[in-house]
Structure 1
Amino acid sequence: MSAQSDTPPSVQTSTEDWDLVIRPRSGWFELHLEDLWRYRDLVRMFVRRDFVAQYKQTILGPLWFIIQPLLTTLTFTVIFSGVAKLSTDGLPPLLFYLAGTTPWNYFSTCVTKTSTTFTANANIFGKVYFPRLVTPLSIVISTLIQFGIQFALLLGMLGWYLLQGTPLNPNWLAIVGMTPLLILLMGSLGLGFGIIVSSLTTKYRDLSFLVTFGIQLAMYATPVVYPLSTVSEKYRTWLELNPMTAIVEAFRAVYLGAGTFSWPDLGYSAIFTVVTLALGVLIFNRVEKTFMDTV
Structure 2
Amino acid sequence: MDSTDVLTKPGRPAPATAEPEEWTEVIQPKTSLLDLGLKDVWRYRDLVMLFVRRDFVSTYKQTVLGPIWFFIQPLLTTIIYVIIFGNVAKLSTDGLPTTVFYLSGITIWNYFSLTLMNTSTVLRDNAGMFGKVYFPRLTMPLSIVISNLARFGVQFALFIMVWLYYIVKGSSIHPNALIILTPVLVIIMGVLSLGLGMIFSAMTTKYRDLAMLLAFGMQLLMYATPVIYPLSSIPAKYKWLIMANPMSCIVEAFRYAFLGTGSFSWGYLSYSLAVTIVVMLAGTIIFNKVQKSFTDTV
Provide TM-score, normalisation by structure 2: 0.92
Question: Which residue of structure 1 lines up, in the alignment, with residue 59 of structure 2?
Answer: 54
User: 3-state SS of the aligned residue for 2:32?
Assistant: coil
Question: Which residue of structure 1 lines up, in the alignment, with residue 14 of structure 2?
Answer: none
Contact 2:95-2:172 within 8 A present in 1 as well: no
**1:200 is aligned to 2:233:** no
In structure 1, what is the Cα distance between the partners aligned to 2:287 and 2:70?
A: 30
In structure 2, what is the Cα distance between the partners aligned to 1:27 and 1:166?
A: 54
Measured after TM superposition, the shift of residue 24 of structure 1 is: 2.0
Measured after TM superposition, the shift of residue 32 of structure 1 is: 2.5
Question: Which residue of structure 2 lines up, in the alignment, with residue 133 of structure 1?
Answer: 138
Residue identity matched to 2:175: P
Measured after TM superposition, the shift of residue 15 of structure 1 is: 4.5
Match of 1:89 among 84, 89, 94: 94
Distance 1:101 1:286, change over 3 A: same
The residue correspondences of 1:146-295 to structure 2 (distance < 5 A) are 146-171=151-176, 173-175=177-179, 177-295=180-298
Match of 1:64 among 66, 69, 78: 69
Measured after TM superposition, the shift of residue 25 of structure 1 is: 2.3
Q: Structure 2: where are the runs of 5+ without partners?
A: 5-17
Residue identity matched to 1:135: M
Residue identity matched to 1:286: K
Q: Deviations over 1:204-225 (max 9, x none)?
A: 1110111111111110000000
In structure 1, what is the Cα distance between the partners aligned to 2:34 and 2:144?
A: 24
Q: Which has the larger radius of gyration?
A: 2
Q: Deviations over 1:178-225 (max 9, x none)?
A: 011011011111111111100011111110111111111110000000
Residue identity matched to 2:139: V
Identity, % of aligned positions: 56
Question: Which residue of structure 2 lines up, in the alignment, with residue 75 of structure 1?
Answer: 80
Q: Deviations over 1:126-168 (max 9, x none)?
A: 1110000000000010001111111111100011111111121
Measured after TM superposition, the shift of residue 281 of structure 1 is: 1.5
Residue identity matched to 1:255: F
Distance 1:234 1:43, change over 3 A: same
Question: Which residue of structure 2 lines up, in the alignment, with residue 10 of structure 1?
Answer: none
**1:3 is aligned to 2:3:** yes
User: 3-state SS of the aligned residue for 1:203?
Assistant: coil
User: 3-state SS of the aligned residue for 1:63?
Assistant: helix
Match of 1:24 among 14, 21, 29: 29
User: 3-state SS of the aligned residue for 1:87?
Assistant: coil
In structure 2, what is the Cα distance between the partners aligned to 1:152 and 1:19?
A: 43
Question: Which residue of structure 2 lines up, in the alignment, with residue 98 of structure 1?
Answer: 103
In structure 2, what is the Cα distance between the partners aligned to 1:78 and 1:152?
A: 23
Contact 2:194-2:280 within 8 A present in 1 as well: yes
In structure 2, what is the Cα distance between the partners aligned to 1:30 and 1:75?
A: 44
Question: Which residue of structure 2 lines up, in the alignment, with residue 7 of structure 1?
Answer: none
Aligned Cα RMSD in Å?
Answer: 1.6
Q: Deviations over 1:53-86 (max 9, x none)?
A: 2111100111111111111111111111111111
In structure 2, what is the Cα distance between the partners aligned to 1:61 and 1:30?
A: 38
Measured after TM superposition, the shift of residue 26 of structure 1 is: 4.1
Measured after TM superposition, the shift of residue 253 of structure 1 is: 0.4
Question: Which residue of structure 1 lines up, in the alignment, with residue 148 of structure 2?
Answer: 143
Q: Structure 1: where are the runs of 5+ without partners?
A: 5-12
Distance 1:164 1:27, change over 3 A: closer
| Greater than 6 Å deviation, 4+ residue runs | none
Measured after TM superposition, the shift of residue 285 of structure 1 is: 1.2
The residue correspondences of 1:26-41 to structure 2 (distance < 5 A) are 26-41=31-46
Residue identity matched to 2:78: T
User: 3-state SS of the aligned residue for 1:268?
Assistant: helix
In structure 1, what is the Cα distance between the partners aligned to 2:161 and 2:135?
A: 41
Contact 2:252-2:262 within 8 A present in 1 as well: yes
